[in-house]
Structure 1
């Protein structure tokens, strides 16, 4: 192996090492992990949590959002909708895709009854307290970091303990709380020194990737020179 080929091999090995930098340059779960701070606030309203988004149909917006809301508003005013079904058509047990409706500042529970072949759709008023109680979590059944936040005002939890970061709506002794993540940070774990910020890590990885591409390119040039010798 001549000198040019030796240089090509060295540059190729260095280039591959630089391109593989995510495996050793502050890899996730080795040098650091994220921690999240949750804060609890007492509230007297129904917050916009993910659970409420899927279980409560809101038709109070202006302009009118959908044709579905048009019929819902009509039913909320006391006008049920009746449909005559074909003899061979049944009604799915989960006919409604939501548990509650909010319109005109009030909450309603949707109802569907089948009398013979006549399907009647209607809305029954329910209290705000009923909806809040149904959509809230029991504090005793909530994750530890949620219980700690309600009792202490805030809590910290590592990312490894979370399935996903989400806002919790909980009830404790007749009071309701929103527990939500307010900040996150990286903390060192196994390597014993302070981990740089995400932006700094990404910059280092990008620089290493560019350097790796340059080394591989130069390795190809030295290989060509070696063939000419």
Structure 2
């Protein structure tokens, strides 16, 4: 550790030491091998892991590169989201956690609806709400990401950002029955490898297991009530799609 390095606070240094020990155990990697890969002395590593001296930021970066993991994440007990997501506390958004039946129009069949599950849960390590989709017929396109809940607009955002490619769901505050209505902006897979921007109504309903996942077509028992939920988006002002003038 160089003389000009900045020492980590004691609590963070201890957390880094614990994470490094766990990573070594999972990889069955020796401390000497890690020290060599991180270009630090074994003595330095041993003293830091034993708590006899703090890690520095420069050494932590080298260890992260050698292990391929982040060692400086938020503490496991983090209870506030980053400011970019609304700086909400876990207690303030606990009502949003749960499993939802998710409905949108089918992109492949103009007469059908598409149903799948979305789970919203607290990520203790990241200190924020996250979401993940499941039970999609097109499983390779299932999304996961972060949940933004800013106080200014009262809108809930489900944000996927994969290598700069963004998909966004914008939802209003829940109704008295816990339903969330809004709009989805995404990419629609067209012919071949073509991807086309697309937007549609979106509804997230508390999941009671009454509606199957998959394509819901006219004539199925679930079709009429599911269609009514999607129609509420525009009919009741949860979302607005402006037509071209004239």
TM-score normalised per structure 1? 0.23
More helix by share: 1
Larger C-alpha radius of gyration, 1 or 2?
1
Structure number with the bigger relative contact order (C-alpha 8 A, sep ≥ 6) is 1
